[in-house]
């Protein structure tokens, strides 16, 4: 048993559902008790999704528990097949139902006999894997299933496309700025003259998966989701993959050079150096920005970075290499992939922290007292308490990570976004100087008068106490309205009854 | 006992036993930790439970000091670790870090399935660490959303002291803080006492925000009814005294287990009344309490009429319109009854669980309201199937759908006005004064959409965009 106040990565079934519901025309059946189906709420509320989330819960209740759930699960799969005619139904248990140790594979086989669509059981251990690992696995499982199916049916498209092409792997629903990253990479590919063969899994259909081998290579921008699929495809088709996250000017260039190398190896002669120069100097403002006078004050400022592997590693490199900021601590909650993280960031920071315990990071922040934090919502919260600004760079996702405006983290536009985020997170430039010189500009003393001293009305102690319970920002209004009400009626004392009567009278 | 009357027969009840969505009953942590200020809630469950509270409810960050997960790991599930030792380790840490007056263990589906004997472990551990432990089985196998509160209060009902116990320990000490606060305004107190009619003690149950508690207590005081205490109180150490023969009344429709526990285990007498939601319900609730306590209520009719008059501006917006409840928080029947009294029609009330005995008076009032208003009775659908409901909504095209969060945006995208049921769970909706807030919520989608319409937005948005289900 573990005392936990906060979770950086969600449970396994969330990862599975993120993959399943990213595909088009794929339905997921959750075999779970009432209340475990909040994935639908997250998708509907955070992404403001207009369609019903294609996830149905086959509810496990006391009765199902005693009778066995096979009939119900099979019925629900067959029913959904009829109602929605999906191409694929993915069955997943949750942490709870997985301990029932039912033969879900058998349920799936049974359902497959009656269902027209394909039926798959998401093959994940719910106590060993978290959301990210489960997502990675489920994507690979679905891809593998359809590659095998296509091979059996003889419609696997193995011939490479005429022009260089790429599969972009790892974009999912409820991912951190995934939609915008995806758009940015599509633009980048267009600029580089590389066709996008498929984007996985976001908005792909399972029928398209047979086309995967057509692409010249795969690009996995995220360390967490997609890599297993890319590795499988390399093994299966010798299809190369690039796994450098194009985040920040330096890494974006490294990623593009790697793609160039992959294309060159396949006999396509291309040189992206001019493009990189052009983008770095003119499209991305980030390189010039960090040399501009304003940013001199960033030099040597202390920062703490924490997040998932992809974003924490990339952010550490950007801060250290591109902005001259002193990263005291870089950390990740991806414990299962700690070695990679260490290798990536060790040379750019003083300390590395690998932990899923938010308390450990909070303690480290309090000890280090950095000038800024780049972390998750949790670190933002810690920063608020310690009065240290925090830019949010990684999941767990929050409604703020689904902005309406275009805010990618990847590619050259991403470099601009990140530069803005960094700049806005620090108190710096002239503002910083002036604050130091003049000791702050908020010199006005707060003068609070006693709540009833300026009034000829008496507030009864109980009413006074009640008034104090009213949230501060409306307290003044409530007080004014109540006193107005009392004056109009010639009352000299405001009691609780008067307060409520006043509330009814003004209807507020 | 006043609750024994059977549910009215004219209402039609269906049970679809379908696939439906509501929040998990462990949600109750999010309001109960705020209500009971000296408590600590320990949810014993899996990552799935924790991530729900963190994400869907958004509780975790803010609740941190008084709420945590005891996350079950592989060793706990396979019973390699001793539950008692593990819980002891965690509770000692909580005691050391936070020192609460009570630790509430919230059992989950997982503790049910692995048959962790929380009720058996608690007394022993409580004695060992010296902090009372309340255990509640707020699991999704047996309960829905708001019923989580029911499981906690039912369990807490056992912990309410009897007057003999209170006199036995030191009564002075128990009220020491209150005394400090009132500076021994004894004279004041005695004057107040005389305003009450002499009646058998009455305890109210249900967790409401403090201003609503004060409000309802005052409404009863106006009739000379003295509320001896509330379950739960603001602090665990101030749980109300409950003796055999005390009267109890609930303020929420989802508290049937608490009611049963108070009746069977504490030998209280339950006042079965409609719930104090809307001016009609509030009046009926007060009247019923008064009649049981042998008090002639004064001025309630005028009070109700006055409130209705003040609501007219809102009622104009919904009169003659229809509302469909998909079912989420078990407040559905009370809200439907109030909205029908406002002049709406209601074809369907979906509800996760329907206790016809505990809700008997509310159902009777619903039936009476429908006949008074001359509208058809709603169909009450227990454990509805959300997919089927959406087909019915498409066919009926109601003016307003009150639904859980998973369906709100998709329905709105199909041009159907929706309101989240969750808001009614958290807003202050009880009593005369707050009736306006219910209508403020219920009419908001209509007002918003008519405002957008006036601005010409509906011409910019293609109305019949095909949206898939």
pLDDT, tens only, A235-248:
999 999 999 999 99
- Within a domain: A453: no
Cis-peptide into B110, omega within 30 deg? no
> Is there a contact between B281 and B338 (Cβ–Cβ < 8 Å)?
yes
Q: How many CB atoms within 10 Å of residue B417?
A: 21
A76 vs B19: CB contact, 8 Å cut-off? Answer: yes
Topology given in CATH for the domain delimited by B25-143? Rossmann fold (3.40.50)
Mean pLDDT, range B202-209, rounded to an integer:
97
Give which of A179, A240, A193 is closest to A46, Cα–Cα: A179
Q: What is the pLDDT of residue A122?
A: 95
Q: What is the pLDDT of residue A434?
A: 52
> Is there a contact between A245 and A268 (Cβ–Cβ < 8 Å)?
no
From chain A, pick out residues whose CB is under 8 angstroms from the CB of B61.
6, 377-378, 381
CA distance A17 to B371: 47
pLDDT at residue A451 is higher than 50: no
Mean pLDDT, range A489-504, rounded to an integer:
85
- Within a domain: A146: no
CA distance A79 to A238: 40
Catalytic residue among A61, A103, A294, A363: A294
Residue carrying the six token digits 């989240």: B420
**Do A59 and A86 sit in the same domain of this protein?**
yes
CA distance B112 to B118: 9
Give which of A257, A355, A251, A245 is closest to A306, Cα–Cα: A355
Task: Determine whether A118 is an active site residue.
Answer: no
**Do A294 and A417 sit in the same domain of this protein?**
yes
From the CA of A198, how many Å to the nearest CA of chain B? 24
pLDDT at residue A449 is higher than 50: no
Topology given in CATH for the domain delimited by B300-455? Rossmann fold (3.40.50)
CA distances to A236, B302, B353, B440, B442 from B337, in Å: 64, 20, 17, 17, 13
**Do A16 and A89 sit in the same domain of this protein?**
yes
H or E element that contains A466: helix A461-469
CATH code: domain of residue A476: 1.10.8.550
Using CB atoms within 10 Å of the CB of residue B99, give its burial: 0 to 12 exposed, 13 to 18 middle, 19+ buried: exposed
Residues with Cβ within 8 Å of residue A133, at least 6 apart in sequence: A12, A15, A124, A336
Q: Tell me, yes or no, if the two domains B25-143 and B300-455 fold the same way.
A: yes
From the CA of B52, how many Å to the nearest CA of chain A? 7
Q: Which residue, of A129, A157, A187, is where some domain finishes?
A: A129
- The pLDDT tens digits of the residues spanning B8-24 come to 468 999 999 899 999 99
- Within a domain: A446: no
pLDDT at residue A414 is higher than 90: yes
Q: How many CB atoms within 10 Å of residue A240?
A: 19
pLDDT at residue A470 is higher than 90: no
**Do A302 and A229 sit in the same domain of this protein?**
no
- The C-alpha torsion from A479 through A482 and A486 to A488, rounded to 10°, is 110
Q: What is the pLDDT of residue B459?
A: 61
- Structural domain span for residue A260: 165-282
Q: What is the pLDDT of residue B1?
A: 42
**Do A432 and A492 sit in the same domain of this protein?**
no
Report yes or no on whether pTM surpasses 0.80: yes
**Do A425 and A479 sit in the same domain of this protein?**
no
Q: How many CB atoms within 10 Å of residue A405?
A: 6
**Do A391 and A273 sit in the same domain of this protein?**
no
> Is there a contact between B266 and B242 (Cβ–Cβ < 8 Å)?
yes
**Do A65 and A125 sit in the same domain of this protein?**
yes
Dihedral sign of CA atoms A220, A223, A227, A231 in order: positive
The gap between the terminal CA atoms of chain B, to the nearest Å, is: 48
- Within a domain: A449: no
> Is there a contact between B168 and B161 (Cβ–Cβ < 8 Å)?
no
Residue of B40, B53, B140, B383 to mutate for A, most A C-beta atoms under 10 A: B140
Locate the domains of chain B by residue range. Answer: 25-143, 202-278, 300-455
Strand partners, B247: B202, B269
Query: Does the domain formed by B202-278 have CATH 3.40.50.1980?
Result: yes
Residue B128 confidence class, pLDDT cut points 50, 70, 90: very high
**Do A434 and A294 sit in the same domain of this protein?**
yes
- The C-alpha torsion from A483 through A488 and A490 to A491, rounded to 10°, is -30
Strands (E), A108-213: 118-121, 165-171, 195-201
Beta strand B400-403 pairing with B247-250: unpaired
Of residues A356 and A439, the one with the higher pLDDT is A356
Residue A283 confidence class, pLDDT cut points 50, 70, 90: confident
Query: Domain total for chain A?
Result: 4
- Within a domain: A160: no
Q: What is the pLDDT of residue A441?
A: 43
- Within a domain: A312: yes
Residue of B109, B382, B431 to mutate for A, most A C-beta atoms under 10 A: B109
pLDDT at residue B63 is higher than 70: no
pLDDT at residue A340 is higher than 50: yes
- Within a domain: A246: yes
> Is there a contact between A48 and A179 (Cβ–Cβ < 8 Å)?
no
Residue B167 confidence class, pLDDT cut points 50, 70, 90: confident
Calculate the average pLDDT of chain A.
90
CA distance B397 to B345: 12
**Do A278 and A178 sit in the same domain of this protein?**
yes
CA distance B328 to B311: 26
pLDDT at residue A429 is higher than 50: no
From chain B, pick out residues whose CB is under 8 angstroms from the CB of A505.
310
B139 vs A33: CB contact, 8 Å cut-off? Answer: yes
CA distances to A11, A139, A498 from A134, in Å: 8, 9, 59
> Is there a contact between A265 and A428 (Cβ–Cβ < 8 Å)?
no
- Both tokens assigned to A66: 């005693």
pLDDT at residue A454 is higher than 70: no
B56 vs A469: CB contact, 8 Å cut-off? Answer: no
**Do A343 and A430 sit in the same domain of this protein?**
yes
Residue carrying the six token digits 């009570």: B102
Of residues B77 and B284, the one with the higher pLDDT is B284
CATH code: domain of residue A386: 3.40.50.1980
From chain A, pick out residues whose CB is under 8 angstroms from the CB of B384.
none
pLDDT at residue A73 is higher than 80: yes
From the CA of A16, how many Å to the nearest CA of chain B? 13
Mean pLDDT, range B268-293, rounded to an integer:
97
CA distance B390 to B395: 9
Residue of B nearest to A399 (CA): B55
pLDDT at residue B175 is higher than 70: no
**Do A188 and A275 sit in the same domain of this protein?**
yes
> Is there a contact between A22 and A34 (Cβ–Cβ < 8 Å)?
no
H or E element that contains A121: strand A118-121
- The pLDDT tens digits of the residues spanning B415-458 come to 999 999 999 998 999 999 999 999 999 999 988 888 777 776 65
């Amino acid at each position: 048993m573990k005392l936990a106040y906060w979770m950086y990565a969600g449970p396994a079934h969330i990862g599975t559902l993120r993959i399943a519901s990213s595909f088009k025309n794929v339905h997921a059946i959750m075999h779970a008790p009432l209340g475990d189906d909040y994935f639908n709420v997250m998708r509907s509320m955070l992404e403001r999704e207009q369609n019903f989330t294609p996830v149905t819960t086959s509810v496990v209740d006391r009765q199902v528990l005693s009778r066995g759930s096979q009939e119900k699960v099979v019925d629900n799969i067959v029913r959904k097949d009829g109602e929605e005619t999906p191409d694929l139904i993915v069955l997943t248990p949750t942490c709870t139902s997985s301990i029932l140790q039912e033969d879900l594979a058998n349920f799936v086989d049974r359902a497959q006999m009656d269902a027209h669509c394909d039926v798959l059981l998401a093959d994940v251990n719910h106590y060993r894997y978290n959301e990210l690992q489960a997502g990675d696995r489920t994507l690979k499982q679905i891809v593998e299933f359809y590659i095998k199916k296509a091979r059996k049916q003889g419609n696997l498209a193995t011939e490479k496309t005429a022009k260089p092409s790429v599969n972009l792997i790892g974009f999912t629903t409820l991912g951190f700025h995934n939609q915008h990253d995806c758009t940015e990479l599509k633009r980048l590919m267009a600029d580089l003259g590389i066709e996008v063969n498929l984007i996985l899994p976001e908005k792909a259909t399972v029928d398209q998966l047979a086309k995967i081998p057509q692409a010249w290579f795969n690009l996995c921008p995220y360390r967490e989701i997609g890599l297993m699929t890319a590795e499988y495809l390399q093994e299966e088709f010798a299809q190369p993959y690039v796994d450098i996250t194009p985040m920040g000017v330096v890494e974006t260039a490294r990623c593009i050079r790697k793609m160039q190398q992959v294309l060159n190896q396949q006999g396509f002669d291309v040189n992206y150096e001019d493009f990189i120069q052009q983008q770095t100097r003119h499209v991305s403002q980030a390189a010039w920005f960090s040399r501009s006078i304003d940013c001199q004050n960033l030099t040597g400022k202390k920062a703490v970075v924490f997040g998932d592997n992809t974003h924490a590693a990339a952010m550490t490199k950007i801060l250290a290499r591109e902005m001259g900021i002193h990263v005291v601590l870089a950390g990740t909650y991806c414990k299962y992939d700690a070695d990679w993280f260490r290798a990536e960031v060790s040379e750019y920071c003083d300390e590395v922290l690998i932990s899923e315990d938010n308390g450990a990071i909070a303690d480290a922040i309090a000890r280090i007292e950095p000038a800024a934090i780049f972390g998750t919502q949790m670190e933002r919260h810690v920063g608020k308490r310690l009065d240290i600004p925090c830019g949010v760079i990684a999941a767990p996702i929050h409604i703020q990570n689904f902005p309406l405006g275009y805010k990618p983290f990847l590619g050259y536009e991403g470099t601009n976004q990140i530069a803005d985020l960094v700049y806005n997170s620090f108190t710096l430039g002239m503002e910083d100087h002036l604050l130091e010189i003049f000791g702050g500009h908020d010199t006005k003393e707060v003068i609070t008068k006693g709540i009833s001293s300026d009034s000829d009305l008496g507030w009864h102690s109980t009413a006074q106490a009640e008034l104090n319970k009213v949230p501060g920002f409306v307290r003044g209004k409530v007080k004014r309205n109540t006193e107005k009400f009392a004056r109009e009626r010639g009352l000299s004392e405001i009691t609780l009854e008067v307060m409520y009567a006043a509330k009814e009278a003004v209807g507020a | 006992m006043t609750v024994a009357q059977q549910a009215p027969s004219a209402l039609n009840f269906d049970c679809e036993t379908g696939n439906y969505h509501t929040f998990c009953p462990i949600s109750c942590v999010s309001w109960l930790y705020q209500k009971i200020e000296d408590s600590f809630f320990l949810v014993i469950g899996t990552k799935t439970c924790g991530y729900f509270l963190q994400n869907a409810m958004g509780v975790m960050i803010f609740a941190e000091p008084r709420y945590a997960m005891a996350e079950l790991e592989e060793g706990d599930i396979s019973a390699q670790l001793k539950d008692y030792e593990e819980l002891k380790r965690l509770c000692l840490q909580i005691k050391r870090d936070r020192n609460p007056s009570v630790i509430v263990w919230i059992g989950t589906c997982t503790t049910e399935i692995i048959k962790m004997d929380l009720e058996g472990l608690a007394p022993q551990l409580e004695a060992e660490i010296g902090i009372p432990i309340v255990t509640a089985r707020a699991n999704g196998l047996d309960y829905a959303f708001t019923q989580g509160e029911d499981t906690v209060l039912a369990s807490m009902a056992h912990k309410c002291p009897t007057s003999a116990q209170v006199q036995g320990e030191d009564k002075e000490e128990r009220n020491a803080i209150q005394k400090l606060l009132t500076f021994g305004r004894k004279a004041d107190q005695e004057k107040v006492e005389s305003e009450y009619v002499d009646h058998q003690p009455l305890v109210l149950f249900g967790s409401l925000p403090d201003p609503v508690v004060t409000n309802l207590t005052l409404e009863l005081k106006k009739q000379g009814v003295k509320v001896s205490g509330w379950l739960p109180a603001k602090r665990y150490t101030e749980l109300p005294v409950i003796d055999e023969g005390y009267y109890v009344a609930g303020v929420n429709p989802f508290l049937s287990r608490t009611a049963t526990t108070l009746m069977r285990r504490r030998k209280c007498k339950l006042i079965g009344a409609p719930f104090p939601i809307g001016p009609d319900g509030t009046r009926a609730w007060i009247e019923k309490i008064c009649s049981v306590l042998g008090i002639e209520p004064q001025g309630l009719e005028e009070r109700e009429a006055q409130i209705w008059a003040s609501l007219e501006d809102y009622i104009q917006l919904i009169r003659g319109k229809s509302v469909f409840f998909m079912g989420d928080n078990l407040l559905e029947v009370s809200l439907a009854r109030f909205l029908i009294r406002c002049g709406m029609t209601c074809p369907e009330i979906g509800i996760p669980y329907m206790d016809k005995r505990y809700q008997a008076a509310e159902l009777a009032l619903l039936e009476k309201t429908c006949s008074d208003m001359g509208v058809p009775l709603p169909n009450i659908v227990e454990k509805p199937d959300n997919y089927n409901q959406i087909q019915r909504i498409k066919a009926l095209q109601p003016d307003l759908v009150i639904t859980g969060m998973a369906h709100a945006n998709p329905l709105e995208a199909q041009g159907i006005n929706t309101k989240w049921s969750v808001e009614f769970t958290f807003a202050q909706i009880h009593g005369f004064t707050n009736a306006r807030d219910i209508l403020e919520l219920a009419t908001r989608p209509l007002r918003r959409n008519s405002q957008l319409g006036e601005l010409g937005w509906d011409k910019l948005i293609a109305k019949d965009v095909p949206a898939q289900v």
